[in-house]
Amino acid sequence: MMSPLDSNIQIETLQADRFAPFGSVVEAGHAIAQASINDGRAVRFELPVHIDASMHGGQPRLSIFRAEPTPLPWRIASMERHPWGSQTFVPLAQLPYLVLVGLGHDAPSRSTLRCFLARPNQGVHYARGTWHHSLLALQAQSDFLVIDRAAEPQRSNCDECATLDWQLWINLLPDGSTP
Amino acid sequence: MMSPLDSNIQIETLQADRFAPFGSVVEAGHAIAQASINDGRAVRFELPVHIDASMHGGQPRLSIFRAEPTPLPWRIASMERHPWGSQTFVPLAQLPYLVLVGLGHDAPSRSTLRCFLARPNQGVHYARGTWHHSLLALQAQSDFLVIDRAAEPQRSNCDECATLDWQLWINLLPDGSTP
């Protein structure tokens, strides 16, 4: 339950410039190059994503993450980062979702937190080492295509940070509605 | 126009075992490993996809291909392959599409051709060097997320083969309907 000291994080729309400190937005409209291919029957939008998976002998890995919807209000209890690789999430469901990210050396700083509402046609690429919350699906169980670094045996590629002391919640959208 | 010598290729549903000679099917139901993650709030399905992009100093590249619908009947005029890298296509539209592949050393052999109808939740991974047709969207303009090998400057990673002499068309589904 929320106490008088608790607060709700502000939720903003996902835009490439706002997200730049954390990575990039995966969306045709944010391509770095565009080319007509297949004899004019298709267009290739090359995305500003550096699949950063080769550190310590790593390999890119393709997965589908099936995320349960987040019950709201949701207390932000932990954040994580992957020091050895980037992570790319592309929604396969036609549903919006939230992206919670932060900056910090040994831990995310509360003042740097940003919570973005992604449209169904927007994916996100977390640059290597970016602090982020786990997947925040909203309305229903949602599949995401994920490109990250295959885990090395015996070595961890995930730092976790407990954040309950922030007393920070995800609750309502800026217009007051539930996502 | 079709001549009396022309014929229509058989179209079959996309299944992992049928597609194995050409690559793999990108679908949660065909995962090679499954794990509960995010404190039980998500499941990771690890896919049988080897992102094969490092040959000759290559890097994995992420793109969106926006494909126009294929006008039917469609004469199979050419096939292509990428000798230096695999290619993965994951549909972002909730629409079916066709996948036309073949085997052969210097050119695809007509007798090895297979044409698969993919469901909207099925992607395909072409193993490096697999002969394939360009994207065959069906009902409407369709976006696909694509993971392939970034092209080297000055060097081609695409072999093309003209196939008009096959006099082979994509036309109707096995039940006689237009896809």
B70 vs B144: CA distance, rounded Å: 15
Do the Cβ atoms of B134 and A37 come within 8 Å? yes
Of residues A64 and A154, the one with the higher pLDDT is: A64
Q: Do B44 and A65 touch (CB under 8 A)?
A: yes
Exposure letters B25-53 (e unless 16+ CB within 10 A, then b): bbbbebbeeeeebbeebbbbbbbbbbbbb
Scan for tokens 């499954």, then name that residue.
Answer: B34
Task: Give the tens place of pLDDT for each residue, A38-49.
Answer: 999 999 999 999
Q: Would you state the pLDDT for residue A49? A: 96
- Dump pLDDT digits (tens) for B63-117: 999 999 999 999 999 999 999 999 999 999 999 999 999 999 999 999 999 999 9
Taking CB atoms and an 8 Å cutoff, what residues of chain A touch B92? 90, 92, 121
pTM of the model: 0.94
User: How many CB atoms lie under 10 A from the CB of residue A7?
Assistant: 12
**Testing the interface with A: which of B32, B61, B62, B86 to mutate, by most A Cβ within 10 A?**
B62
Query: 3-state DSSP call for residue A159?
Result: strand
Radius of gyration of the CA atoms of chain A, in A? 17
- pLDDT over threshold 70, residue A90: yes
Average pLDDT, chain B: 93
Chain CA centroid to CA A45, Å = 21
B67, B83 contact by CB (below 8 A): no
Whether residues B134 and A38 touch (CB distance < 8 A) is answered with yes
Judging contacts by C-beta atoms under 8 Å, the chain B residues touching residue A68 are: 41-42
Nearest to B83 by CA among B51, B127, B40, B32: B127
Q: Chain B closest CA to A3's CA: distance in Å?
A: 24
User: What confidence score (pLDDT) does residue A170 get?
Assistant: 95
Report residue A1's pLDDT band, with 50, 70 and 90 as the boundaries.
Answer: low
Tell me the pairing of strands A97-102 and B142-149. Answer: unpaired
Q: How confident is the model at residue A18 (pLDDT cuts 50, 70, 90)?
A: very high
Sign of CA dihedral B78, B82, B87, B92: negative
State which residue of chain B sits closest to A88, comparing Cα positions.
Answer: B62
Question: Contact A62/B94, CB-based, under 8 Å?
Answer: no
Is the pLDDT confidence value at A155 over 70? no
ipTM of the complex: 0.93
